[in-house]
Amino acid sequence: MTTKKIQKFIAERRPTPYLVVDLDVVADNYRKLASAVPQAGIYYAVKANPAPEILSLLAKMGASFDTASVAEIDMALAAGVDGGRISFGNTIKKASDIAAAHARGVKLYAFDSEAELDKLAKAAPGAKVFCRILTSGEGADWPLSRKFGCEVEMARDLLIAAAKRGVLPHGVSFHVGSQMKDTNAWDAAVAQAAWIFRECEAAGVQLSMLNIGGGFPTRYRKDIPAMQSYGEAIHASLARHFGNRIPSEIIVEPGRQMVGNAGVIDTEVVLVSKKSSKESRRWVYLDIGKFGGLAETMDEAIQYPIVAAKKGPVGRVVIAGPTCDSADVMYEKADYRLPLDLEAGDRLEIRATGAYTTTYASVAFNGFEPIKTYCI
- What are the CA-CA distances from residue 209 to residues 64, 262, 298 (Å)? 15, 30, 35
Alpha helices, DSSP H only, in the chain? 4-10, 23-36, 52-61, 70-78, 95-103, 114-123, 152-162, 187-202, 227-242, 256-259
Beta-carbon contacts of 179 under 8 Å, excluding residues fewer than 6 positions away, are 140, 141, 142, 215, 217, 218, 220, 256, 302
CB-CB neighbours of 344 under 10 Å: 12
Rounded to a whole number of angstroms, the CA Rg of the chain reads 22
Question: What does the buried/exposed string (b/e) look like for 177-186 if buried means 16 or more CB atoms within 10 Å of the residue's CB?
Answer: bbbbbbbebb
Determine which one of 131, 150, 200, 324 is catalytic: 324
Strand pairing of 178-180 and 140-142?
antiparallel
Give the orientation angle of helix 227-242 with respect to helix 23-36, to 10 degrees.
30
Cβ-contact 185, 139 below 8 angstroms: yes
Q: What burial class does residue 335 get, using C-beta atoms within 10 Å of its C-beta: 0-12 exposed, 13-18 middle, 19+ buried?
A: exposed
Give the orientation angle of helix 187-202 with respect to helix 227-242, to 10 degrees.
30
User: Quick one: DSSP state of residue 281?
Assistant: P
- 324 part of the active site: yes
Distance CA 142, CA 215 (A): 9
Beta-carbon contacts of 99 under 8 Å, excluding residues fewer than 6 positions away, are 123, 124
User: Quick one: DSSP state of residue 117?
Assistant: H
Distance CA 179, CA 258 (A): 12
Give the orientation angle of helix 23-36 with respect to helix 52-61, to 10 degrees.
40
Active site (catalytic) residues: 324
